[in-house]
Structure 1
């Protein structure tokens, strides 16, 4: 390259660097920065009314768990939201004076107080340096993040406080559970306003249920959809009538576990007991196939698969049983084929299929040959033959709604017209294409003829 050409390239590079520097140095966006759960966040300074400290809030009955109460801010009664609880983040111990750090936000014509760990400073940036949000940048739902930006080596996650505190019907955000400023009633979306109390109660109930659904998704990866909607609504009614006043929402993993305690199918993670096994056996239809092809995704450690294999061998003694048992827990799936048991932990219907070894009892070769345990993710391609039975208890509910649709479509493609799909106790196969052939405690479906 000629010297003149080299100088021209360098000049162009320097000009570009200078332009970028000038662009970065141009401040057209200011944010108030603060910390939550050990990470740095920011909000548009135009939404910040002031900062404050407080240690006493007035309790609001039946408010959502993230609502600390209301606070008298120089004569104005405002709701106080703990952003740490809202986003399921850890809460630091209070300082010696016991007061909380608060950002007072103005959203439209309403004022809210938000509790954070620490309030830092005002940071000015160029709005062009703000990058789109990505889940890796925070511990909170990406829909509440407007962007991320780096300033002097420090990464800030910019919260979209308008989305957090503004009710949008299509998003069904949590605002419906936040008390309105200056009152002891709940701020409800316009669609729920009415001169009667019943619509208000219904709106509050729907809001509380929506928040529980979001909490189950965040805490347990449980997706509330048409597959389990009937159960979750029944459970919600029971939950709200048995919980202490003001403790309806799910605050942590323990609350979520308690809420889901009645969801799971019988004998999860262990051998099916004799009574449940007999119910399953009774709902299985007559099959003329000489080979019974079965898919058991989410088989875990294999107790469910061994239980079902013994039932099938009893129900179809003249058929060859072939079970594809899949799970994405590599430790569980790798140890499943070689499990050894004490005879007294094996249910009666399985004992005729056991053989004694030097270390204890295991299943005989006939049962072992009927099962192919494989490490596999159900969301990936599964090139099975046409299936007679799909056994998938309590698996679908712990997938995203999009993945549920994908797997249900996969079930429909792989099952024979005369085949049976067995789901979790409180799961349903939606659509007119399917008819239920068994109710609680076994949820089983066949295709409509």
Structure 2
């Protein structure tokens, strides 16, 4: 099979390219720019384009398929040539389905927790020596790539609700046709695509409709909107609710009760994620004893409450949280786990949704549990996205927190953090970006000397 990737440098795209190459396919690709770690990883497998940019000579009639990344545009010259030649053009979710249509497909959906639930399932399956394929949205410890495609009978897929490709405006998770599905919760996101909350919720209703006959939906019963959605949906699938497992926290460690199983992760959001993973694993033939034994060694997905520094009285975490629901849940988790420590919580806003003044209202009261709340927005982000910058009053008013601190210069934020005495305190750094390139590991060490 000869496969060409247009925009091969994307996170999911380059991992799919590597997976197909390892499967024995002849893979080529192109992109106008490729950043790390994609560049080095493509280089390792001999898949890095010799030159950056688009070249229609790469598109030939003998290609079996072209896979189109979201980074490409509708007028991409390679895409236009592929269309002219009548080649089969897939989005990457379409091609994942093409490679897994004879497998049992587990699809993890929801506005939050997708990566963690997927990671937990993969961890347990690996620990139990099960054969499986996967697609996950983060680099996981113990897994070389974010995509694996073999002859395994099961595939576990993190099901993103964002659009499939520039020429396919369907949400990705509609295309996988799950046999077993999870919805972790619904909280409005991607407002550049889904202009209203009702439109956003509709995508999850359609996701339920896409579940295969005799399939199962596992959903969080603590989410009122999700409960209502599941109740009103007429799709005849097995609907299985979940909530919080019995647990207690002792000396900063969370235990599952009554078995008293110590965990390396914490927070109600992670306990909910754990219960979703447990129910999926049960459907896959793994009993509760085996699940608990395996999950006790799960240390979390990359950038999900990732511990950067662990001291006697100070921890520094980084987390992927960026939407209001994720922000609130992550702050609650750290504060509940260490109630006697001061919590300094800092979020970087940089997504299209979070930089929309109307959407900013949905962040109201999300940082109230933090002893010191900080919002950072790199002023260059507004310029890049051609948006009107926020000021401190905009942020404080919409977060409904008059004590909140606001920075739009990374050097000033760094100076402020270094001025804080972190004795008996935790620092939580949250972003789906990179804090203007700040080395967070180095910062954590400097703050806690």
Larger Rg: 1
TM-score range (shorter-chain normalised) is: under 0.3
Q: TM-score, normalised by structure 2?
A: 0.26
Q: TM-score, normalised by structure 1?
A: 0.26
Give the strand-richer structure, 1 or 2: 1
